[in-house]
Amino acid sequence: MATDWQVKRLAGALGAEVSGTDLTTTSGSDIQLIKALLLEHKVLFFPGQTISPSQHVEFGHNFGELEDHPNLKNPFTDHPYIFELAATQGGVADEWHTDITFQDQPSIMSILHMVKCPEVGGDTMWTNLEQAFDELSTPMQQLCEGTTALHDAAPHSRPDIMAIHPVVRLHPETGRKSLYVNEHFTRRIVEMNVTESDAVLGYLTGWVKNPRFTVRYHWTPGTIAIWDNRCTQHFVLNDFEGERVIQRVTVMGDQVEAAARPVAQPWVREGRKSATSRYDRQMRQYLRSRDQEAVDV
């Protein structure tokens, strides 16, 4: 069956559309082909699928362990392992992000089913984080490789759920380096003071949005999109009227590997407290709980 597939690249940076497939009847070799195509293109689109929530979940199991969304509730569907966003219920992901980076082992890939979409607008964009890293200057690459960043679930009203990841991660299958900070979940460069961190994070999260690194996809109902969360971010254009419903299956299970060791200890201000101490409170809390966990183990 895989020999009937047609693969069309959609942009210079990433993204390909695959036609001639029925994802409800995939064989082992089809899954291997999808994995290979995903490594090559980073995000794949399969238009015209007819897939039930159970078939969607079954398809997801081919790629690893699945996880329900840790913080958000679905508006309509309560199928286990399906995470649903509906625009009329506030479910429009219009800030650039990689999925659930506030967890120690963030999602490795996501499989989205477009259930209902507007005729005009509501496109989704993805950006290629390997290219974004490659095109930084050498001094900036070195600065990024020597640092880590604190991520949290504040957008889900859970700033207490936090993780630290390298600013530059290695892809476990290709060994390539990606810039791994996003404006939705990344709060602070751990080794820098807050003003330095704000400047660097502001720069990097803006840099990854350069249109040259991106692909923009216009949806039709039934399309399945699969993306590699280890080397991409995505963003929904909030430019439409009416309803838009997506269902996502999220594949878990990846310890983020750093491209290099951090060049410094976490930046924690010593001495007397002051009005600006509040900027360091969250990072202190995270470091204290991490140190306590190490003692408990």
Ligand X SMILES: O=C(O)CCC(=O)C(=O)O
Residues assigned a catalytic role: 97, 99, 234, 248
CA distance 89 to 101: 23
Cβ distance 207 to 143 under 8 Å?
no
Residue 147 or 223 having the CB closest to ligand X: 223
Give residues 248-267 in contact with ligand X (rule: CB under 6 A): 248
Min dist CB 85 to ligand X, Å, is 6
Give residues 38-97 in contact with ligand X (rule: CB under 6 A): 85, 93
If phi > 0 it is left, if psi is from -120 to 50 it is alpha, else beta; for residue 157 that is left
Please report whether residue 228 would count as binding ligand X according to CB under 6 A. no
Cβ distance 257 to 169 under 8 Å?
yes
The helix (run of H) or strand (run of E) holding residue 110 is: strand 109-116
Residue 77 or 292 having the CB closest to ligand X: 77
Bridge partners (DSSP) of residue 66 are 251
Please report whether residue 99 would count as binding ligand X according to CB under 6 A. yes
Give the x/- contact pattern for ligand X in 111-150, rule: CB under 6 A: -x-----------x--------------------------
Among 234, 256, 258, 266, binds ligand X (CB under 6 A): 234
Q: If we measure between CA atoms, which residue out of 206, 257, 203 comes closest to residue 235?
A: 206
Residue 53 or 266 having the CB closest to ligand X: 53
Residue 150 or 236 having the CB closest to ligand X: 236
Strands 168-170 and 257-258 turn out to be antiparallel
Min dist CB 199 to ligand X, Å, is 27
Cβ distance 236 to 34 under 8 Å?
no
Residue 85 or 153 having the CB closest to ligand X: 85
Among 125, 246, 251, 258, binds ligand X (CB under 6 A): 246
Cβ distance 113 to 256 under 8 Å?
no
Min dist CB 196 to ligand X, Å, is 29
Cβ distance 218 to 30 under 8 Å?
no
CA distance 142 to 10: 32
Sheet holding 214-217, edge to edge: 214-217, 124-128, 232-236
Min dist CB 40 to ligand X, Å, is 21
CA distance 59 to 25: 9
Min dist CB 25 to ligand X, Å, is 25
Please report whether residue 236 would count as binding ligand X according to CB under 6 A. yes
Residues making contact with ligand X (CB under 6 A) = 85, 93, 99, 110, 112, 124, 234, 236, 246, 248
